[in-house]
Chain A
């Protein structure tokens, strides 16, 4: 959600008020939130473990092979998501389309429709198991991404960006539940490491895409991002789920 809302917010504000206001308004919101948090959220006594404990758990958690492969998927997911939106702005404002900022804003905001796909995830997971869903979501995203590069008109591009975002919107929550499941007892630690990896993906994404865009070839850029997704797809085959017993306790969402 934040991925799309953040972008729509900043392109809206920067085209109406100027980019400085993007940060000024956000700062005001943060200040208000600070007050809200101070007054409305109770602070409970510490929970009895220590930081050293958490680090020890981290070592134990990382000993699991399957988790590493799940982290590869996490890395490529966010890398392609952030990368795709970085490239999309350039793509649409380039001489191929010559979209105005306003039109690009529309394309970005329609992505929210794709995010709504995660609404159906609960039902999907009940019916099928997590890994097949994850795989098909990755493939869906990759197809959306490749076709995006071939886009010739606005409708096609919008539809493909929704397809891409839907894939991501399904894949990420199922990945979180998979990582949590693989983590077992140290579920929290496994998910913390997952967050680190996901954000690393978001760090690399824009740098990579800007380098790729230097070639001026959008099809190539989107296809390389799709290749990263396929790498994630392949690594799902190395994820071994712990036991069917665990599956039963996790699956009913």
Chain B
């Protein structure tokens, strides 16, 4: 494990990565909406069948991501919302680092998704609202 070095890590950079990752992860839920007519034409299936692409994707997303997102992982914060890194519950500790961080950035975005203002102003409630401080 990398040692945490508070001086070496630019914290706003971490927040930026998490925010951007969350944005593109969340986008994957919505990219199929405009594609429904395109795909149904290309694959010669009706639109009511094509729509299952988006719905099944979202459903599996619920099962695998939501079901274990927020409470298992946390962004650990220093004072004034500077993200320091990622922590998780004991059982998940040996999960791959990347998947852990993806889950986290997802939950980060999930709750700021419509709310970039809090992100931009980096107000206290941003991270407080996202991550239950334990």
Spell out A's residues near B (CB within 8 Å): 1-7, 9-11, 14, 19, 22-23, 26, 29-30, 33-34, 36-38, 40-51, 53-54, 57-58, 82, 85-86, 89-90, 93, 104, 108, 115, 118-119, 121-122, 168-169, 172-173, 176-177, 180, 187-189, 191-192, 195-196, 198-200, 202-204, 206-207, 209-211, 213-214, 252-253
What separation, in Å, do the CA atoms of A66 and B70 have in the docked complex?
21
In the bound complex, residues from chain B placing their C-beta under 8 Å from that of A30 are: 24
Spell out B's residues near A (CB within 8 Å): 1-2, 4-5, 9, 13-14, 17-18, 20-39, 42, 47-48, 51-52, 54-55, 58-59, 61-62, 66-72, 74, 76, 84-93, 97-98, 100-102, 105, 107, 109-111, 113-118, 121, 123, 125, 129, 131-132, 134
In the bound complex, residues from chain B placing their C-beta under 8 Å from that of A173 are: 114-115, 118
Q: Is the CB of B85 within 8 A of A22?
A: no
- A-B interface contact total, Cβ < 8 Å: 250
In the bound complex, residues from chain A placing their C-beta under 8 Å from that of B70 are: 188-189, 191-192, 195
- Closest chain-B Cβ to A34's Cβ sits at a distance in Å of 5
Closest to B73 in A: A47
- Closest chain-A Cβ to B48's Cβ sits at a distance in Å of 5
Find B85's partner among A41, A53, A199, A206 (CB 8 Å cutoff): A41
Q: A44-B4, A192-B69 are in contact. Are A89 and B89 (CB under 8 A)?
A: no
Q: Is the CB of A192 within 8 A of B21?
A: no
Q: Is the CB of B4 within 8 A of A42?
A: yes
Find B30's partner among A6, A176, A210 (CB 8 Å cutoff): A6
Q: Is the CB of B71 within 8 A of A169?
A: no
Extra inter-chain contacts (5) besides given A89-B37, A204-B55, CB under 8 Å: A1-B113, A1-B114, A33-B21, A43-B85, A198-B110
Q: Main secondary structure on chain A at its contact with chain B? A: helix
In the bound complex, residues from chain A placing their C-beta under 8 Å from that of B87 are: 44-47
In the bound complex, residues from chain A placing their C-beta under 8 Å from that of B113 are: 1-3, 172
Q: Is the CB of B76 within 8 A of A44?
A: yes
Find B71's partner among A10, A45, A46, A188 (CB 8 Å cutoff): A188
In the bound complex, residues from chain A placing their C-beta under 8 Å from that of B17 are: 33, 36-37, 40-41
Q: Is the CB of A14 within 8 A of B34?
A: yes
What separation, in Å, do the CA atoms of A9 and B28 have in the docked complex?
10
Q: Is the CB of B125 within 8 A of A253?
A: yes
